[in-house]
Structure 1
């Protein structure tokens, strides 16, 4: 069968979804000896960094499914997965999906106390974990049954696995969770078809460049990893799943494994941009694919200067220096990025432009009454798309609070221009209305600082309202080669909009270790606001630079 026909048939299969891709491909019997997934750790006796063929992957999933079935895990049972490695996360998800249980993937970076409360609220049938995370949960009195250590599940006979469960389109197939930047992570329900909708769309299009060898530098418990795994399987291409997504680990993996594309979140691009990329062998990379929060111009420009890509020249199609960066905006609840824009070293549409919507997405900019706004008007982002989650597990109040007039309200503030390009300005909870009627957008302010202050690698802008007064703190993470004690207040104020600059009372250079971060690398601004209101100051002493406003 020709690969193009194979992709078209998969796109047209109404029963295919994230619960049964692996079983469906194996049942077709084609390409069983082709490499599929690669993990960065040894698993079930298989060496790290050695690809599993499709048949080998199926056998390891079947063995784990047999173990889970013998433990009494049944179809529709929610089972939490709280583990360390990408291999254990992905194989556990695939095994639970095979028997029709509902894997609830928990980010391994979440502290034990938070994870225990999250799992309690799931009312899960059991918890799959490893020794490290079993110890994390131990002090917190979790009454959900702890299943045997995940490391032993692969020892069962694959022949003991039950027949693959028949998934239906609107049934819950997997639970992931929000970033938890505003509190306890929310359990997000994805259906068999919702997380597959973007894959089905891509399978109906010509296969894109850079998809033959993909490096997954995504949080392994995130919906984005579920999509990446199934996209790779359906395209019959290789995907390497990283257990750690920090900059050094990703760069080491690129040099070792030579991917054509790298999939990641904004926090990873920030760390990569802080490295000296000129001393790294990144020529294999054709594209960096971003999801979640949109990326910053300063980081994108550094990444597209590295790698290589095919380009049309007077000499024909040749490989040239510099790569693509595919940006957009997504979230766990959206199920997939709803926008896309591609940057190269030659493009110049930035200013937090997230691009145009995908063909499968109905996008609206809405006012507080959920009425549509026109070009140039900032409002709430509303999404109606087949990729949307079903809502929040055991939390109908939050589910219905975020749905209005057929749209999911994402919590983002955006506007569109006359050409149909959308721009992200902030999260609604981080933006502040000022007394003069103008609005302070912290994300736009961060973008301006990064673009205008070359020795600032990352920054966080936090606006706090006390009675009728708004005060803003600017937290800077500096290049290691920069003067850490230099006065930067004037430089920072100069790049901010006047109405924002007038609210700034401190510019602080800090150690990144002092920033409270969520498990996916997002700064917890809500926690910072609480700390500032309580009188706690970061970077006091020589690094705190108070601003005297006229």
Structure 2
């Protein structure tokens, strides 16, 4: 079967979903020996950076399935995975789904005490840890630790049970929110919801010219990590999965740049924080010529970071002399979240692109979007900011063990994503802030912190990243603090207040209390690298009221 025929077959076969991609590839006659997946760590004695074929991949998955089965794990059993290596996440994800169990994937940067509470709320049947998270053994989890990730691959693949046959609504993964406002919330994904975008878009879009090699720096434990791996497997692309290298600042962009130069991918996947990490480097000194596409999801990426990336890399162009590589790459931004399952909007940027200012493009064909006035439930007119409501087959069915939170996010049949947006006359959508981070100043004036950050970065090349925090005090007045992370070569004594005030606008600028340059660790971030503005606002209020 040709690659094109296989993609069409997979898209049409409704048995295929997020929980059984390797099985379905084998059943439909995919090449068993072509290189498929590489990891940056050793896997069961297979050296790091060695590509696994579909044959080897399914064997390693079967070994783990047999190990879990011998410990009584079976259909509908939630098993938490608190591990660092991408291989330990993905191979155990497929192994548990082979048994009909439900892997609960935990970001390895989650603090141990928070992880213990997350596991207790999960009410599963067991936990897998690795050496990096051995301290979890000291906590009361309510469930046993099944074993160390290093031993699970020792199972006998010949004794693995037959693959469980999933229904489209079956749960195949529990991931979690970023935890920027609270303890991370467990989000459940179904067999079809976590595959819907792959089926609707990734298996039907035109295949790129030439070989495709994709590098993912996305957290393996995130829904986006699973989606990217499955779409690469189904399309027959080679993929390199980077493991978590520590916290957001320890896992510097240098790790990703080194991997690009070594592995020569044509595409790179990451979150908005990934591009911020790369922005600290002079990309012209690195060999990024293999990269044609940068693909982002989660938060909207900043123009200042995107412009640096599209100036790097190369792309094929057809001439009279044939196909030639020319400088410049493409950046595809897909605004999404854990609960959305897959980005609902997409926009592509190239050299010369000028539709920025937090434009997230237009919705995918599978996504129905409405910007709502949450007081009335009615759609707001063009040009007016409203809360984003989404109907999509990619949506997570809800929150695990939390029906109240599940239904609280629904309005008029839409899922409320928590994003504030407006659309223009041409049907393009613009993201201005998260609902929890924006502040109403009255008289139609607002502080939109994300939009302000975008405009500061666009106006000040000395600023590598920034965080805007606005908080309403008990007396109703608003204070705004702006924290700037400067480039290494920037003047640390330079005054940036005029730039900040211009980005805020006249009404919001009147609330400005301070503009301060800080180090990377001067900003509090969650497990996925997102800024925890909620916690930082509490400190602002404590400072402003003298701790009262």
* Cα shift at 1:241: 0.4
Match of 1:522 in 2: 530
Match of 1:121 in 2: 121
8 Å Cα contact 2:137/2:145 also seen in 1: no
* Cα shift at 1:221: 0.4
Residues 1:463 and 2:470 are matched in the alignment: yes
8 Å Cα contact 1:210/1:261 also seen in 2: no
Match of 2:378 in 1: 371
8 Å Cα contact 2:524/2:536 also seen in 1: yes
Distance 1:83 1:210, change over 3 A: farther
Q: How does 1:212-361 map to 2 (within 5 A)?
A: 212-244=212-244, 246-311=252-317, 317-361=323-367
Match of 2:139 in 1: 140
For 1:494 and 1:365, the matched residues in 2 are separated by 28
Match of 2:248 in 1: none
Q: Matched residue pairs, number?
A: 536
1:147-190 Cα shifts (integer Å, max 9, x gaps)? 11110111121011000001000111111110000010010010
* Cα shift at 1:26: 1.7
Match of 1:452 in 2: 459
1:33-60 Cα shifts (integer Å, max 9, x gaps)? 0111100000101110010011000000
1:477-510 Cα shifts (integer Å, max 9, x gaps)? 0011111122222232233311121211100100
For 2:208 and 2:347, the matched residues in 1 are separated by 14
For 1:38 and 1:357, the matched residues in 2 are separated by 32
**1:388 alignment partner, one of 392, 395, 405:** 395
Residues 1:436 and 2:443 are matched in the alignment: yes
For 1:426 and 1:328, the matched residues in 2 are separated by 16
* Cα shift at 1:207: 2.1
* Cα shift at 1:141: 2.0
Q: How does 1:2-41 map to 2 (within 5 A)?
A: 2-41=2-41
8 Å Cα contact 1:210/1:286 also seen in 2: no
For 1:315 and 1:342, the matched residues in 2 are separated by 27
Q: How does 1:203-214 map to 2 (within 5 A)?
A: 203-208=203-208, 212-214=212-214
SS at match of 2:45: coil
Segments of structure 2 that go 5 or more residues without pairing to the other structure are: 245-250
Distance 1:392 1:116, change over 3 A: same
Q: How does 1:80-229 map to 2 (within 5 A)?
A: 80-135=80-135, 137-201=136-200, 202-208=202-208, 212-229=212-229
8 Å Cα contact 2:340/2:396 also seen in 1: yes
1:281-327 Cα shifts (integer Å, max 9, x gaps)? 10000000000001000000000000001235687653211100001
For 1:118 and 1:233, the matched residues in 2 are separated by 31
1:419-444 Cα shifts (integer Å, max 9, x gaps)? 11100000010000003331110011
8 Å Cα contact 2:35/2:53 also seen in 1: yes
1:252-272 Cα shifts (integer Å, max 9, x gaps)? 100010000000000010111
* Cα shift at 1:210: 8.2
For 1:30 and 1:396, the matched residues in 2 are separated by 40
Q: How does 1:536-547 map to 2 (within 5 A)?
A: none
Distance 1:276 1:380, change over 3 A: same
Segments of structure 1 that go 5 or more residues without pairing to the other structure are: 538-550
**2:485 alignment partner, one of 477, 490, 497:** 477
**Segment of structure 1 superposing worse, 518-527 or 200-209:** 200-209
Match of 2:521 in 1: 513
8 Å Cα contact 1:179/1:520 also seen in 2: yes
Match of 1:72 in 2: 72
* Cα shift at 1:373: 1.4
For 2:69 and 2:254, the matched residues in 1 are separated by 39
For 1:293 and 1:349, the matched residues in 2 are separated by 17
TM (normalized to structure 1)?
A: 0.95
8 Å Cα contact 1:211/1:261 also seen in 2: no
8 Å Cα contact 1:210/1:287 also seen in 2: no
Match of 1:545 in 2: none
**Segment of structure 1 superposing worse, 528-537 or 259-268:** 528-537
For 1:96 and 1:65, the matched residues in 2 are separated by 6
SS at match of 2:114: helix
SS at match of 2:66: helix
